[in-house]
A = this chain, B = another copy of it.
Amino acid sequence: MGAVPELAGARLALFGTPYDGTCSFRPGTRFGPAATRNVSEGIETYCPVCNADLEDVHFADIGDLVLPTADKAAVLLAIEQAADELYSIGVIPAALGGEHLVSLPLLKAAFKHNPDLVLVQFDAHLDLRESFMGSELSHATVMRQISKFVEPSRILQVGPRSGTREEFETAQKFGTYRPDSLTPKELREWVGHRPLYVTVDLDILDPSIFPGTGTPEPGGVSYRELQAWIVSLAGCNWIGWDAVELSPEYDSTQVSSIVSSKIVRTLVLSSLAKPC
């Protein structure tokens, strides 16, 4: 998709974080980065909605991180270090999941270099549990963990439609989630000129168009809605992003992988668009 394997000259670096060690229902997001890349050959580099072309921007794909998957703490550290190194040389980290827990070390690195960042989370779930399946480090607790160093007023949760009663109460207390629908214009205004990290849990999409994920939740948003939100952020001050939770084992028609690949294209083009 127009990416080069070398970092030299790149403003952004794609890398895979193929970890799914805490997934509770349907495993397999470890295969997400490979599936997204495999279908990318069949995808155009030009996006008519963005009116932009991947061949006109400079980004690298440095492959998948090699992760010691049997040791969760070591996995999280390896991801944090990889992002930290990219920040050190002025390259935007852009991660392909893997499960949502990978956003925790990515945000740690982002926060270290940008303590005034804001975080936009697209997700069907709030991920605000204190613990899950006997652990505080899980795809279902990731936002709770992040909220311990990024203050809730700097977090916006878009699209949640499933969770425990406690999670919804927490989100309302934190003020991270507004039940009313959010227009792209409102989203753009909320972000403003602040340093922006975007985490896309692809399960925000309706399972009709994105069945290939661990915890599909009917009643989700359409591809056009998600695309419009992301495109509205083109020209913002992006400092990092991730797209997580593609599980190709449940994607018998390959459509989820194609959607993932096109959302990644939209993210690359939006995060590298000229400031405005």
- A residues near B (Cβ < 8 Å) are 20-22, 24-28, 30, 34, 38, 41-42, 44, 46, 48-49, 53, 68-71, 74, 132-135, 137-138, 160-165, 168, 206-209, 211-212, 215-219, 222-224, 227, 249-255, 258-259, 262
* Contact status B133-A69, CB under 8 Å: yes
Could you tell me the distance in whole angstroms from the C-beta of A158 to the nearest C-beta in chain B? 15
Q: Which residue of B lies closest to A28 (CB)?
A: B27
Which of chain B's residues has its CB closest to A136's CB? B70
Report the Cα distance A212→B255, complex, angstroms: 9
A/B interface sample: 13 pairs, CB < 8 A? A26-B42, A27-B27, A27-B28, A28-B249, A38-B38, A48-B161, A49-B161, A70-B133, A207-B255, A207-B258, A211-B254, A219-B222, A249-B249
- In the complex, what distance in Å separates the CA atom of A209 from the CA atom of B253? 11
Please pick, from B25, B70, B227, the residue contacting A132 in the complex, using a CB distance under 8 A: B70
Instruction: A22 to B34: give the CA distance in the assembly, Å.
Output: 20
Given the interface contacts A48-B168, A164-B44, does A68 sit within 8 Å of B258 by beta carbon? Answer: no
Docked-complex contact A134 and B42, CB < 8 angstroms: no
Question: Given that A71-B134, A71-B135, A206-B209 are contacting pairs, would A27 and B20 also be in contact in the complex, using a CB cutoff of 8 Å?
Answer: yes
Are B253 and A252 neighbours in the complex by a CB distance under 8 Å? yes
A250 and chain B: residue at smallest CB distance: B253
Instruction: Find out whether the CB atom of A26 lies under 8 angstroms from the CB atom of B254.
Output: yes
Contacts of A44 in B (CB 8 A): 162-164
Task: Note all chain B residues with C-beta closer than 8 A to A211.
Answer: 253-255
Name the residue in A27, A49, A168 with the highest tally of chain B Cβ atoms < 10 Å from its Cβ. A27
The residue on B at minimum CB distance from A55 is: B165
Instruction: Choose from B68, B208, B258 the contact partner of A134 (Cβ within 8 Å).
Output: B68
A132 CA / B44 CA spacing, docked (Å)? 13
| Chain B min CB distance to A274 (Å) | 17
